[in-house]
């Protein structure tokens, strides 16, 4: 029997568009248009919101494996579910992750299921490639290779994901001593459009190439896989099992900077970034010849990979380097200002602790000086789901690290798999949160049935079916539904939590678990190892105008500044509509646009802003959500005021054993020009609003566009750790 494919009826879509108004935030439609609306080559325009939602929903429901088997009942079920999902997402009551908004329903997604996942994790130790779509020809796929985790990182970053990687002693100690130096030469043909840039990065003219004794030549094909293979060849050439130590890499086939990438989307960065990365990585490995790589060496290689991916602001990437809490060299590596500017900016760095107060105190002292590291309690993640459910050694025993934002603990090769609910908006739109949770679970569960490129990922996903149903706009919901914050007061040093909110979260968690058990039975697969999370959010939250994850809104009134490429046609539209537009003082060819924002509940007496709430209350709220909602983890960038810095070690250590991961950052409002967010008063806010004379969506219309533009410097997470898409 042939399989089925579900497609939403055009009349249904048109009816919902007439009847339902999307809950756009002040920056919602603009953020959508510049981040998730795909370019339609045939029509020379980007998608509309209904077109995007239709593509995304159809791409997801058709992942249900029963459809491929020709199951009539499943087809009917998915047809109805597609309608429910369309209504839900179109109204912005809930949304899939930014990755899904960008790629679900595309040909690229069908070929590379990896592309639906925001972030990944890998341990930096030799691992086998196995039955993966990328396999260097000189390797036995069953044997561990030093290049594998670095190749995995490069591959997933180039698909637009973020990667957390572990350089703890337990991993780095497994990498053998670097056996030999490699004599690397990189060549490019003068006819290549990136010739001059590649030569500046260190490439040599191909026409002058002379064969060397014992030389191995790799001609890099113009593909993502080609870039990854070049890195693998280089790393393994330093070991006897790998290619010749006389290695030549020809990058002449790579397309020039600015040419369109038709698969994933976006534009090419040219050969220059690859050339620079290969030469820099080779220098690190040559310097390590005769000894083992250190945690700093491995992190530097990971950072150089990340730098190559983001070069030219063409692709997004995010990295988290995870080291040992007592590895002083790792903790202090960003204090080298020259290397920080060159490549060490490419990762956020966190340390693994075992939940001891003195370790949290040491981390906090470092944060006050350097702003890093974050902290990850891996033991708590392995042995607990929701903390309320108690100790369980089978909760997540193989977890090795986290994604870059820290809300999902992951096994090697495993991805995040997120769906975001805006509970205040959903209830305002008449949705029952239990039904929203059911749809969220089923959407995320289907993502685990995509086609994944790496064997290590397929095994971990099949074993765990891990999902992350996230709540966002949490502070908005607490205000609208309960009229209070999670922390109602303090009993000495202990927070007093709202029992009403705790009960509501527990009820919603139980609805998530029941939905997973039901759908797992239907699909004939195991239940998801973990189900819930709180992602930090950012870009997706801006669509709906919700507060970001568990974070408090910035202020009662504030300016949100968004940066656009100066060639973006939307810049002139915004200027014509009355928004303040000026050149970005930090980046060339970039414009800075100011948007006035009045957040949800800003006029309520119970409203609290990020500048009002203490670091202790933020950590207590994170611990509350870890206890009653999230069985994965809760991501939060806790802001602390200058007057809290001295007591930060005591503040953070009070929550040892109660939070799985966190990061801290000093709260700064004002102080430098063109800050992303800046508090303003009521009078200035009203003045800015009055200056806006037209709706950008109406003014923009269906104008043709010659290129897919992007919002510059945006991230999918409030803390800046995760990619836009």
Determine whether 340 is exposed, middle or buried from the number of CB atoms within 10 Å of its CB (0-12, 13-18, 19+): middle
**What secondary structure, in 3-state letters, does 561-573 show?**
EEEEECCCHHHHH
pTM: 0.93
Contact 646, 546 (CB under 8 A): no
- Tell me the H-state helices in 311-409: 328-331, 337-342, 357-370, 378-383
Query: pLDDT at position 357, please?
Result: 94
Helix (H, G, I), strand (E, B) or coil at 203: coil
Helical ranges in 387-538 per DSSP H:
423-428, 433-447, 455-464, 474-477, 499-523
The CA–CA distances, whole Å, from 639 to 495, 525, 648, 663 equal 18, 41, 11, 9
pLDDT given for residue 41 in this prediction: 86
Instruction: Find the range with the poorest average confidence among 4-18, 35-49, 280-294, 518-532.
Output: 35-49
Task: Please check whether residue 664 is in contact with residue 648, taking contact to mean a CB–CB distance below 8 angstroms.
Answer: yes
* Residue 408 CB neighbour total at 10 angstroms: 34
**CB-based burial label for 619 (10 Å; 0-12, 13-18, 19+):** buried
The DSSP code sequence of 486-519 is SEEEEETTEEEE-HHHHHHHHHHHHHHHHHHHHH
Q: Which residue has the tokens 């999670």?
A: 486
Q: What is the set of active-site residues? A: 405, 407
Q: Give pLDDT, residue 714.
A: 54
Query: Considering the chain, what percentage of its residues have pLDDT values greater than 70?
Result: 94
The CA-based angle 391-394-399, given to 5 degrees, is 105
For 428-433, what is the mean pLDDT?
A: 97
Inter-CA distances, 361 with 168, 524, 622, Å: 20, 47, 18
Which two tokens mark 665? 């950052």
pLDDT given at position 564: 86
Mean pLDDT of the chain: 92
Q: Flag whether pLDDT at 39 surpasses 60.
A: yes
Buried b (16+ CB within 10 A) or exposed e, 577-602: bebbbeebeeeeebbbbbbbbbbbbb
Q: Is the pLDDT of residue 367 over 80?
A: yes
Tokens, residue 528: 């998801």
Q: What is the pLDDT of residues 313-338, one digit of tens each?
A: 444 568 999 999 999 999 999 999 99
- Nearest 5°: phi and psi at 543? -55, -50
Residue pointed to by tokens 């029963």:
66
Q: Residue 709, CB half-sphere, CA atoms under 13 Å: how many? A: 23
The residue with greater pLDDT, 141 or 3, is 141
Decide: 166 and 172 in contact? Cβ < 8 Å.
Answer: no
Across the strands, what pairs with 353? 377
Do residues 444 and 468 make contact, with C-beta atoms less than 8 angstroms apart? yes
Domains of the chain by range and CATH? 124-353 (3.30.1620.10)
Is 434's pLDDT higher than 80? yes
Give counts: helices (H), strands (E), the chain: 28, 26
Considering only residues 669 and 268, tell me which one the structure prediction assigns the higher pLDDT. Answer: 669
- 428: CB partners within 8 A, 6+ apart: 23, 480
What CA–CA distance (Å, rounded) separates 291 from 286? 10
Q: Greater confidence, 563 or 132?
A: 132
Per residue in 244-271, pLDDT tens?
999 999 999 998 876 666 555 556 678 9
Distance CA 468, CA 530 (A): 7
Q: Report, as an integer, the average pLDDT of 395-411.
A: 95
Mean pLDDT for 173-194 is: 96
Please give the residue that has the higher pLDDT: either 265 or 388: 388
Give the list of residues 6+ apart from residue 248 with CB closer than 8 angstroms, or none: 184, 185, 186, 187, 209, 212, 215, 216, 217, 218
Q: What is the pLDDT of residue 703?
A: 47
* Residues 476, 424 contacting (CB under 8 angstroms): yes
pLDDT (mean) for 190-218:
93
Spatial separation of the C-alpha atoms in residues 375 and 190, rounded to whole Å: 49
Q: Which two tokens stand for residue 56?
A: 């995304």
More confident residue, 293 or 666: 293
Q: If you search the block for the tokens 């040219």, which residue do you land on?
A: 270
Residue 360 · residue 386 · CB < 8 Å: no
Residue 148 has pLDDT above 60, yes or no: yes
Distance linking the first and last C-alpha atoms of the chain? 37
Tell me what pLDDT residue 265 has: 55
Contact present, 395 and 680 (Cβ < 8 Å)? no
Give pLDDT tens digits for 572-594.
999 999 999 999 998 878 899 99
Position 310 confidence tier, pLDDT thresholds 50, 70, 90: confident
Q: Are strands 661-666 and 494-497 parallel, antiparallel or unpaired?
A: unpaired
List of E strands, 608-710: 637-640, 661-666, 677-679
Q: Residue 64 above 90 pLDDT? A: yes
How confident is the model over 613-636, as a mean pLDDT?
A: 97
Report d(CA 623, CA 655) in Å as an integer.
7
- Residue appearing with tokens 């898409």: 725
Strand-strand pairing, 677-679 and 532-533: unpaired
Mean pLDDT of 230-247: 97
698 Cβ contact partners less than 8 Å away, ≥ 6 residues apart: none
In sequence order, the β-bridge partners of residue 668 are none
C-alpha distances (whole Å) from 606 to each of 65, 427, 613 are: 47, 20, 12
């Amino acid at each position: 029997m042939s399989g089925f494919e579900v497609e939403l009826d055009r009349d249904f879509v048109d009816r919902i568009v007439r009847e339902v108004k999307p809950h756009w935030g002040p920056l919602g439609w603009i953020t959508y248009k510049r981040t998730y609306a795909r370019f339609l080559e045939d029509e020379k325009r980007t998608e509309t919101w209904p077109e995007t939602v239709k593509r995304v929903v159809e791409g997801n429901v058709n992942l249900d494996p029963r459809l491929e088997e020709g199951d009539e009942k499943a087809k009917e079920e998915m047809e109805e579910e597609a309608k429910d999902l369309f209504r839900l997402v179109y109204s912005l009551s809930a949304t899939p992750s930014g990755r899904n908004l960008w790629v679900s329903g595309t040909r690229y997604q069908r070929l590379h299921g990896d592309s639906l996942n925001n972030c990944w994790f890998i341990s930096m130790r030799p691992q086998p490639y196995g039955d993966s779509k990328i396999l260097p020809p000189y390797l036995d796929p069953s044997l561990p290779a030093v290049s594998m985790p670095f190749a995995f990182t490069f591959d997933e970053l180039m698909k637009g994901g973020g990667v957390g990687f572990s350089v703890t002693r337990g991993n780095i100690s497994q990498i053998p001593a670097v056996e030999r130096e490699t004599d690397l030469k990189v060549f490019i043909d003068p006819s290549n459009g990136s010739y001059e840039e590649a030569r500046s990065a260190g490439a040599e003219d191909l026409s002058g190439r002379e064969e060397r004794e014992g030389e191995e030549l790799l001609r890099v094909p113009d593909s993502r896989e080609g870039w990854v293979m070049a890195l693998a060849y280089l790393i393994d050439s330093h070991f006897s099992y790998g290619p010749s130590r006389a290695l030549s890499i020809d990058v002449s086939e790579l397309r020039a900077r600015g040419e369109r990438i038709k698969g994933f989307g976006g534009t090419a960065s040219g050969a220059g970034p690859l050339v620079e990365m290969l030469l820099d990585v080779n220098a690190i490995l040559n310097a390590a010849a005769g000894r083992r790589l250190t945690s700093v060496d491995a992190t530097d290689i990971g950072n150089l990979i990340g730098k190559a991916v983001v070069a030219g602001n063409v692709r997004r990437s995010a990295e988290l380097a995870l080291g040992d809490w007592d590895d002083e060299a790792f903790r202090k590596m960003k204090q080298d200002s020259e290397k920080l500017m060159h490549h060490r900016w490419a990762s956020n760095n966190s340390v693994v602790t075992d939940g001891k107060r003195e370790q949290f105190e040491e981390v906090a002292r470092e944060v006050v000086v350097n702003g890093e590291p974050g902290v990850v309690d891996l033991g708590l993640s392995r042995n607990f789901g929701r903390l309320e459910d108690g100790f369980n050694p089978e909760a997540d025993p193989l977890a090795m690290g986290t994604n870059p934002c820290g809300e999902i603990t992951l096994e090697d090769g495993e991805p995040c798999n997120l769906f975001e609910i805006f509970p205040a908006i959903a209830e305002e739109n008449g949705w029952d949160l239990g039904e929203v949770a059911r749809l969220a679970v089923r959407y995320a569960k289907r993502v685990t049935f995509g086609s994944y490129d790496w064997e290590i990922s397929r095994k971990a996903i099949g074993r765990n079916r891990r999902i992350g149903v996230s709540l966002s706009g949490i502070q908005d919901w607490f205000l609208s539904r309960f009229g209070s914050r999670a922390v109602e007061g303090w009993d000495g040093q202990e927070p007093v939590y709202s029992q009403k909110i705790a009960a509501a979260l527990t009820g919603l968690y139980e609805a998530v678990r029941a939905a997973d058990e039901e759908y797992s039975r239907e699909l004939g697969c195991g239940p998801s190892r973990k189900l819930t999370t709180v992602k930090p959010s950012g870009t997706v939250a801006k669509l709906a105008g919700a507060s970001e994850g568990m974070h408090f809104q910035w202020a009662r009134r504030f300016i949100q500044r968004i940066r656009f490429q100066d060639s973006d046609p939307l810049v002139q539209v915004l200027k014509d509509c009355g928004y303040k537009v000026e050149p970005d003082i930090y980046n060339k060819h970039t414009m800075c646009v100011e948007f006035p924002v009045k957040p949800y509940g800003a006029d309520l007496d119970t409203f609290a802003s990020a500048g009002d709430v203490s670091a202790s209350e933020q950590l207590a709220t994170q611990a509350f959500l870890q206890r009653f909602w999230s069985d994965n983890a809760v991501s939060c960038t806790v802001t602390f005021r200058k007057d809290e810095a001295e007591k930060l070690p005591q503040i953070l250590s009070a929550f040892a054993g109660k939070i799985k991961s966190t990061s801290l950052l000093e709260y700064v409002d004002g102080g430098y020009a063109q800050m992303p967010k800046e508090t303003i008063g009521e009078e200035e806010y009203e003045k800015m609003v009055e200056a806006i004379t037209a709706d950008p969506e109406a003014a923009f219309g269906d104008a043709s566009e010659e290129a897919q533009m992007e919002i510059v410097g945006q991230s999918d997470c409030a803390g800046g750790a995760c990619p836009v898409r």
